[in-house]
Amino acid sequence: MSKLRLMILCGRSARHLHVANRLCQAGDAVAIVQETGTEWNLRKTLRKLRPDNLARKAWRWLRDRRRYTGNPEAKFFFPGGNPRLDRPELVREVPHINHPDVLKLARELKPDLICVFGTSLIRGELLKEGRLGIVNLHGGLSPEYRGADCTFWALYNGEPEKVGCTLHYIDAGIDTGRLIAHVSPEVKAGDSELVLFWRAVRDSAEVYAEAVERLGRGESLGVAQPGKGRLYQVKDRGLAHERSLARRLPDMLAGLALPRRVEWFARTAVQEKRA
């Protein structure tokens, strides 16, 4: 069996590099595209400078600075050294993921599959690329938890069993494409939001790689989502929510011992015939 040709679109943090490395092992990677976020225009600048946006970004910067002191994410995903890509020669940098250069690259390379994790929302003609389509790793269990900070909201809602990630095809919506797999990490007493999120991503990297291999064997993965659930936005999460969860989380997880769980979504013979 020949490996699928993969075009990987990912972020730059340790978790993104870890997933990209695992995908490079599972398929024949032809490019790794990363956003630099350096392209600005007047409309974007004015939006960023709005008082509500500035206040929200300042709060998140202060919060994340406290949480990420000592670079714990890097230590979680790369315990033996610094975060790094195994195939740095494949990296292409673009100002944003919907830049014309990304579409041009996809059309030149003609990948079998475009694999996404940790980029801005993909729009436009790029959605039509990839012989088998575009697959994304989302940090929540769609459709119930779509959008941002889904690990936080699952815990805030008192549903630690719904912490996890979704592997799905990308369509024009936000985390609404056909489901490939749900990946729920081990959950136990003493866990924090970040550790649960990182554990879910680490487990999902293995499932992502397996999905690439299964698609390479010609398996039919992916079923329509049963609804749209709720879309959580960055602006929904505030200081009061964080303080509330901080008070409740230790008791919520006390005595809890959920194992790692993976649910695959494969089309049946009848669904395949209808498709």
pLDDT given for residue 1 in this prediction: 59
pLDDT at 214 over 80: yes
202/56: higher pLDDT: 202
Q: Does position 22 have pLDDT exceeding 50, yes or no?
A: yes
Give the Cα separation of 217 and 260 in Å (integer). Answer: 25
The predicted pLDDT at position 65 comes to: 56
Backbone angles phi, psi at 21, to 5 degrees: -60, -40
Predicted confidence at residue 47, as pLDDT, reads 57
Determine the structural domain holding residue 95 and report its residue range. Answer: 5-274
Which comes out higher in pLDDT, residue 106 or 272? 106
Return the exposure string of 192-222: e unless at least 16 CB atoms fall within 10 Å of the residue's CB, then b: ebbbbbbbbbbbbbebbbbbbbbbbeeeebb
Q: Residues 17, 77: contact at Cβ < 8 Å?
A: yes
State both tokens at 44. Answer: 């974007």
90, 32 in Cβ contact below 8 A? yes
pLDDT at 50 over 50: yes
What is the band of 38 on the pLDDT scale with cuts at 50, 70, 90? low
Residue 232 has pLDDT above 80, yes or no: yes
pLDDT per residue over 107-159, tens digit each?
999 999 999 999 999 999 999 999 999 999 999 999 999 999 999 999 999 99
Q: Can you tell me the mean pLDDT for 235-260?
A: 95
pLDDT tens track for 178-188: 999 999 999 99
**C-alpha span between 165 and 197 (Å, rounded):** 8
pLDDT score of 31 more than 50: yes
Where is average pLDDT lowest: 43-47, 182-186, 192-196, 233-237?
43-47
pLDDT at 19 over 60: yes
CATH number at residue 176: 3.40.50.170
Find out whether 11 and 118 touch, Cβ atoms under 8 Å: yes
Q: How many domains does the chain have?
A: 1
249, amino acid identity: L
Torsion of Cα atoms, 151 then 213 then 179 then 236, to 10°: 30
pTM metric for this prediction:
0.89
Give CA–CA dist 221/204, Å, rounded: 16
Q: Is the pLDDT of residue 104 over 90?
A: yes
pLDDT for residue 64 is more than 70: no
